[in-house]
Amino acid sequence: MPTLQCISPIDGSVHASRETLAPDAADAVAKAARAAQPAWAARPMSERIALVRRAVEIVGEQTERMTTELAHQMGRPVRYGGEFGGFTERANHMADIAAEALAPIVIEDSDAFSRRIEREPLGVVLVVAPWNYPYMTAVNTIAPALIAGNTVVLKHATQTLLVGEHLAECFHAAGVPGDVFANVFLDHETTSGLIAGKAFDFVNFTGSVGGGRAMERAAAGTFTAVATELGGKDPGYVRADADLNAAVDTLIDGAMFNSGQCCCGIERIYVHESLYDAFVEKAVALVKTYRLGDPLKQETTIGPMANVRFAMEVRAQIAEAVEAGAVPHIPVMPGDDGAAYLSPQILTNVTHEMRVMRDESFGPVVGIMAVRDDEEAVRLMNDSQFGLTCSLWTDDIDAANIIGAQLQTGTVFMNRCDYLDPALCWTGCKDTGRGAGLSVLGFHALTRPKSYHLKKG
- 234-421 classified as CATH 3.40.309.10: yes
- Print pLDDT tens along the chain (457 aa): 789 999 999 999 999 999 999 999 999 999 999 999 999 999 999 999 999 999 999 999 999 999 999 999 999 999 999 999 999 999 999 999 999 999 999 999 999 999 999 999 999 999 999 999 999 999 999 999 999 999 999 999 999 999 999 999 999 999 999 999 999 999 999 999 999 999 999 999 999 999 999 999 999 999 999 999 999 999 999 999 999 999 999 999 999 999 999 999 999 999 999 999 999 999 999 999 999 999 999 999 999 999 999 999 999 999 999 999 999 999 999 999 999 999 999 999 999 999 999 999 999 999 999 999 999 999 999 999 999 999 999 999 999 999 999 999 999 999 999 999 999 999 999 999 999 999 999 999 999 999 999 999 8
Of 260, 249, 244, 246, give the one whose Cα is nearest residue 292. Answer: 260
Decide: 327 and 345 in contact? Cβ < 8 Å: no
Which residues 6+ apart lie within 8 Å of 427 measured at CB?
410, 411, 434, 435, 436, 437, 441
Tell me which CATH homologous superfamily contains domain 3-230+433-455.
Answer: Aldehyde Dehydrogenase; Chain A, domain 1 (3.40.605.10)
Phi, psi of 108 (to 5 degrees): -155, 135
Phi-psi sector, 344: left (phi>0), alpha (psi -120 to 50), beta: beta
Q: Residue 77: count other Cβ atoms within 10 Å of its Cβ.
A: 26
Determine whether 457 is exposed, middle or buried from the number of CB atoms within 10 Å of its CB (0-12, 13-18, 19+).
Answer: exposed
Domain range summary for the chain, segments of one domain joined by + = 3-230+433-455, 234-421
The catalytic site residues sit at 229, 263
pTM, full prediction: 0.97
